[in-house]
Structure 1
Amino acid sequence: MEIDNLTPAELRVWRAFPRGESVNFRTADDEDTAEGADWGPERTVRAAVLRALLLSGPQEEGEIPALKLAGARISGTLDLRYGTCDHAVRLSHCHFAGVPQLYGARLRQLNLSNSVLPGLTAGATRVEGVLRLSDCVVRGPVRLGGAQIANALFMERARLIAQDPSEPVLQLNQMTTGDDLWAPGLEIDGEMRLNGANIAGSINMNEARLTCPGRHALDAETLTVEGDFLMRHAQVRGWIGLRGARVTGRLDLSYASLVNPGDTALRASSCTIGELWLRRGSPMQGALNLRRAQTEVLFLEPEAVPDEVLLNNLVYTTLTPHEPAERRLAMLERDRDGYVPHAYEQLTASYLRIGDDRAARLVQLAKQRRHRRTLPWYGRLWGHVQDATVGYGFRPLRACVWLLSLLAIGSVAYGLHHPRPLKPSEAPDFNPVFYTLDLLLPVISFGQESAFAPDDGYQTLSYALVISGWILATTVFAGVTRTVSRQ
């Protein structure tokens, strides 16, 4: 490009480039970049001029060239596809008329902070430093799929607005960063995609607002995060998909609002997470899917649990905060899969690890009662008997109460009306207490039952005591066997 063809504004930029000097066309610190379409030629720079500078611009000996431009209207399309730029690029507070085309480009550093763009196409781009989109307003898709960013990607307070609902507005799938994805306060109207991305640092999306009702607000299947994934105070309308993701540190959804009624709000199935925090937020609207997920610490407050959960094969080592078993059991009752034995075993193990044996017994008792609902009528009937007599073995003192009660009834009844001896000359002295014990205890014999024969209603009472004794013995044996097996 001939330098004589440059406008005065472009000439300023051209002359500043070899020395890495800044050119600022802004008239006030608080001017609105969104009005940049009305800026005149005095602050308009053609994209072709910037392309020529970045690919083959002039250089001065002993100086480090750089493009540092603020407050400009950039007309045309900045096309650097497959190009290599060895200079730092800062185009802040600029208004882009066309979508920058950076696919496959190699850049030293790119800073588009506070700019307004109709979109950004930078898939497979390699950035040797940082990529900044802080405080940007983008009215179209940002395509960074497969990009390689050596340091961090900054998107704090950026606002992305979808023009085509069928296309994700932020595409970071298969992207890799050598540091953080820093995006607190990010606002997205449309889908954010992070499938297969690899973040060597942490993801900070605290106070983010993701809006895509009824669809993926955040699609991050098989995402890998070596640090933390923070979404504190985030507001999500739509559902979060984290199937198969791996977060080495903490996935923190404290104080977050997840709303996707009638469907899944958070799908974190088959995930591996160091710590999962769901606390202090408004009740989740939509299902919570943690099937086959694995986490060391599950920080889950009962108030944060939605009306529908999926917990089959969820594995956790520590469940916090410590809550009474009754509050935790309500969560298991909401499982969409119905009776899930593994969920009860996990909850029991978490209580046993902290020494709360009473809570562990309550969970096991609740498990048997829930299992009872899945049985045929005769199984439910036998289950009710075990529950009423010994609490499925987890309340053994009930058997003693039943035994003492029946012993008292039989002793009083037969003490007032002695049964007749079968062989008066050979019969021992009648003892109503031991006679009743002979009827109740199916194995032990005190010689009373075989020597005396009650009649009329007392014979019926003896049959009832024998049957009750067998039922008590069977349920106690079943309960003790279950307890020993569990231990």
Structure 2
Amino acid sequence: MRRPRRLTAAERRIWDAFPAGEWVDLRTGDPELDDPAKSAEWPREREVRAEILRALLLGAVERQPGQVPAVRLAGARITGTLDLSEGSVSSTLHLLNCHLPEALDLTDAGTRSIRLRGCDLLRLRGSRAKIDGLLELDASTVREGVRLDNARIEGQFRMNRSTVRAPPRRERMSESGVEDVLDPSVPALASPFAWVQQEWALWAGGLSVGGGVFLRSLRARGGLRLIGAVLPGGLYLQGATVEATGVYAVHADFITAGTIEMSAGFRAEGTVRLRSATVAGVLSFDGADLRPGEHRHTSRERDDQPVDRALHLSHSTVDELIWLPAAIEGEVNLRYSRIGVLLDHPAAYTDRVQLNGLTYESVRGLWSVAERVSWLARDPTGYRPQPYEQLAGWYRRIGHEPDARRVLLAKQRRRRETLRPMGRGVGRLLDLVVGYGYRSWLAGLWAVVLLGFGTAVFARVPPVKVDPDEQRTFHAFVYTLDLLVPVSVFEVRGAWEPVGWTQWVAWGLIVSGWVLATALIAGAARVLRPASGP
């Protein structure tokens, strides 16, 4: 195709440079004057019509043998919408320090690499786009959000050091009156709960990226929606700041990723939700700052009460979770997740953490057993036996049987709080006597105390012989021991009869003996029962 006649000087340079993929640089060399945010001050000589770039990218110029065509443009103000939707783009688009006051539309397009570095654009639309290469927005500003739902990117997706804002709201009339809704380019969420007002800076549900998503030092006003995203190359948010305008800063249910780094200064004002996520490598919150934000989640587990939640990681599978945030506010939900290695610290949790159903192969961190037990007691939904069994099982696997018994003793004490008064009374007795069977040495201690007490009493006030003609020698120690044993072993109990007030001592020793024996049997059964299971 011949070059159109009505082209500006800048457009002619771009047209001529396209076949060989040469750069066209319209910048002055002064960083302040070349700032795309100040493009209103640029002369008309730096303006380029989006329709010219569209024509080049969609094949207006035939490919020359031995050359690789591309649009490489720096320092231009691109007027109009750069609409490549449903097109097949076989050339690279590379813009540097350009201003796009209207949208870049890649909806349903098939393209090569798209690179916008240090640019200022209104919006990026890329639903269902297929990009055979790199999508880059490093150090750029996107004023009304990025939409990449169900897009496929073979290379990397990069928005390092970028600033992204959610699309603005507008008012519309409904049957119930005036209501706030999202810009129509971003679907609203239909829900009766508070998070219906959620705004998204990045709308990328179902996104698939082969080479990894790099959002380091990103500044996002609005949430990141990555539900069902497939990211084998990982998601990297080190140093990023996400300020939610609704409940969720990051909403990534069912995400599949090789690794997820929300670390090294990552800051979220809003809930980070990764329910049913699958992370084949490390999920790291090392050095993160997590806060629920102004809006609160509604918990169905607690009668629809508002909940400040920092992290929702339930029903997920993670090879290694590094949970060492620098600052945290709000609840942590780890229910029914499967974690290979859990590296955490007592200060990494608030007083609310949901652990029921959580399983892990190993735990690391500077914890005492008492701190771990306190961690288990922070579940706001109340007593659940599974977290105690899981922790005790881990202590057993590493050969710390005494620590496992301490955990199981804490489990019984927590369970006792849920029983009726009679059950609580029996539980306190078992705890006092033998520590629910996990402190059987207490029974021995009680036996020694009672044996010494009885020996002293009966040595001072000996019982009388039942049969005066029988030749027997009285031993206070043996007599007391025979009273304590539930079944008479030495046949001394029936040969001597206590007198006066010592009868109450004898009866007390007999009852104490039965209580000790019963407690020992019950405790032994409780200790041995798990060992006999599968």
- TM-score, normalisation: structure 1: 0.97
**Is 1:50 the counterpart of 2:53 in the alignment?**
yes
* Distance in 2 separating the partners of 1:233 and 1:33: 28
* Distance in 1 separating the partners of 2:39 and 2:465: 113
* Distance in 2 separating the partners of 1:253 and 1:232: 8
Q: 2:360 aligns with which of 312, 316, 325?
A: 316
Q: 1:179 aligns with which of 202, 211, 228?
A: 211
Does the aligned pair in 2 maintain the 1:214–1:260 contact within 8 Å?
no
Q: Hey, what does 1:286 align to over in structure 2?
A: 330
After TM superposition, the runs of 4+ consecutive aligned structure 1 residues lying more than 6 A away are none
- Where 2:272 maps in the other structure, the secondary structure is strand
Cα deviations by residue, 1:200-221 (Å, 9 ceiling, x for unpaired): 2111111111111651100000
* Distance in 2 separating the partners of 1:117 and 1:348: 56
Q: Hey, what does 1:422 align to over in structure 2?
A: 466
Q: 1:191 aligns with which of 213, 223, 227?
A: 223
* Distance in 2 separating the partners of 1:340 and 1:125: 47
Q: CA deviation at 1:348?
A: 1.0
Does the aligned pair in 2 maintain the 1:68–1:91 contact within 8 Å?
yes
Q: CA deviation at 1:135?
A: 0.9
Q: Hey, what does 1:134 align to over in structure 2?
A: 138
Q: Hey, what does 1:211 align to over in structure 2?
A: 243
Residue 389 of structure 1 aligns with an amino acid whose one-letter code is V
**Is 1:271 the counterpart of 2:304 in the alignment?**
no
Where in structure 2 are the equivalents of 1:224-263 lying within 5 Å? 224-260=256-292, 262-263=307-308
Q: CA deviation at 1:30?
A: 2.3
Q: CA deviation at 1:280?
A: 5.1
Cα deviations by residue, 1:229-286 (Å, 9 ceiling, x for unpaired): 443321110001101110000000001011017421100000000001111522x201
Residue 218 of structure 2 aligns with an amino acid whose one-letter code is L
CA RMSD of aligned residues (A): 1.5
Cα deviations by residue, 1:280-336 (Å, 9 ceiling, x for unpaired): 522x20110001000100111111011101111001000102521011111111101
Q: CA deviation at 1:428?
A: 2.7
* Distance in 1 separating the partners of 2:77 and 2:464: 115
Where in structure 2 are the equivalents of 1:342-381 lying within 5 Å? 342-381=386-425
- Structure 2 residue runs of 5 or longer lacking an equivalent are 170-196, 294-306
Aligned residues: 486
* Distance in 2 separating the partners of 1:381 and 1:42: 89
- TM-score, normalisation: structure 2: 0.88
Q: CA deviation at 1:421?
A: 1.6
Q: Hey, what does 2:38 align to over in structure 1?
A: 35
Residue 247 of structure 2 aligns with an amino acid whose one-letter code is R
Residue 392 of structure 1 aligns with an amino acid whose one-letter code is Y
- Where 2:104 maps in the other structure, the secondary structure is coil
* Distance in 2 separating the partners of 1:214 and 1:119: 21
Cα deviations by residue, 1:326-351 (Å, 9 ceiling, x for unpaired): 11111111101211111011111222
Residue 198 of structure 1 aligns with an amino acid whose one-letter code is V
* Distance in 2 separating the partners of 1:468 and 1:207: 65
* Distance in 1 separating the partners of 2:82 and 2:493: 104
Where in structure 2 are the equivalents of 1:405-444 lying within 5 Å? 405-426=449-470, 428-444=472-488
Q: Hey, what does 2:494 align to over in structure 1?
A: 450
- Structure 1 residue runs of 5 or longer lacking an equivalent are none
Residue 15 of structure 2 aligns with an amino acid whose one-letter code is W
Residue 378 of structure 1 aligns with an amino acid whose one-letter code is M
Q: CA deviation at 1:445?
A: 2.4
Cα deviations by residue, 1:24-83 (Å, 9 ceiling, x for unpaired): 111126232211233221101011111111112324443221100011101011111100
* Distance in 2 separating the partners of 1:215 and 1:179: 29
* Distance in 1 separating the partners of 2:65 and 2:367: 70
Q: 1:74 aligns with which of 78, 88, 98?
A: 78
- Where 1:86 maps in the other structure, the secondary structure is coil
Please, which moves more after superposition, 200-209 or 423-432? Answer: 423-432
Cα deviations by residue, 1:393-414 (Å, 9 ceiling, x for unpaired): 1222111111011011111111
Q: CA deviation at 1:486?
A: 3.3
Q: Hey, what does 1:111 align to over in structure 2?
A: 115
* Distance in 1 separating the partners of 2:341 and 2:245: 30
- Where 1:169 maps in the other structure, the secondary structure is strand
Cα 1:35–1:250 shift into 2, 3 Å: same
- Where 1:295 maps in the other structure, the secondary structure is strand
* Distance in 2 separating the partners of 1:213 and 1:160: 13
Does the aligned pair in 2 maintain the 1:68–1:90 contact within 8 Å?
yes
Residue 274 of structure 1 aligns with an amino acid whose one-letter code is D
